[in-house]
Amino acid sequence: MNIKSEKGMTLVELLAVVSLSMIVMVAAYHAFYFVTGAVETSSTKTEIRKEANILILALEENLINVDSIEVQNDHTTTFQAFTATSTRLDDMDEESTFTYIDETTDVSIQNGHLLIGGIQQNAEGMDLSNTLFELDGNKLTVHLEIFKKDTDETYSLVKIFRLGTE
């Protein structure tokens, strides 16, 4: 009696299927890993850019009508702390004379944080230690550098503020 069945698989066919399956699974894993890393990097960069926009808006809000800046360190052209002074109209007295008020705001980089009026502006995990200010005549240049501690991503931005009452 000769029984021959062609319904089974040979060992060579089985090994070929397992090998091809492993190659496909390894390729899928690497593609998934690559896409996940790219999405994470992109979201980190977006987060840092949003942080930069928030910080620039906070600076603009506090420096919009600044007339003068007093640097707390006169020895260098760049600095990390200053006092901004703006003069605003207060009232008119009985003789129709205007009175003015000088308002000051302290701005500084301390321990990696941007402080405006003593209030921390940046989010935790963001380091601004390398941020510098530069005063040239009636221009205040902000060299904003944000370093995200847990990812080692850095973002730099330069913003110029014009000072004075023109």
Which residues lie below 8 Å from residue 126, measured CB to CB, with a gap of 6+? Answer: 48, 51, 112, 146, 147, 148, 149
Overall average pLDDT of the 2-17 stretch: 80
Domain presence at residue 145? yes
- 90 confidence band (pLDDT: 50, 70, 90): confident
Domain presence at residue 1? no
Domain presence at residue 6? no
Which has the higher per-residue pLDDT, 12 or 165?
Answer: 12
Q: How high is the pLDDT of residue 97?
A: 82
Q: How high is the pLDDT of residue 72?
A: 73
pLDDT of 10 higher than 70: yes
Domain presence at residue 72? yes
- 41 confidence band (pLDDT: 50, 70, 90): confident
Domain presence at residue 5? no
Domain presence at residue 106? yes
**Range with the poorest average pLDDT among 33-37, 92-96, 118-122, 152-156:** 92-96
pLDDT of 158 higher than 90: yes
Domain presence at residue 149? yes
Q: What range defines the domain where residue 106 resides?
A: 11-162
CA-CA distance, 166 to 147, in Å (whole number)? 36
**3-state DSSP percent of the chain in helix, strand and coil, to 5:** 30, 40, 30
User: Looking at the 3D structure of the chain, how many domains does it have?
Assistant: 1
Q: How high is the pLDDT of residue 166?
A: 52
Domain presence at residue 51? yes
pLDDT digits (tens, 9 = 90+) for 48-89: 999 999 999 999 999 988 989 998 776 678 999 999 998 887
Overall average pLDDT of the 37-58 stretch: 94
Contact 142, 121 (CB under 8 A): no
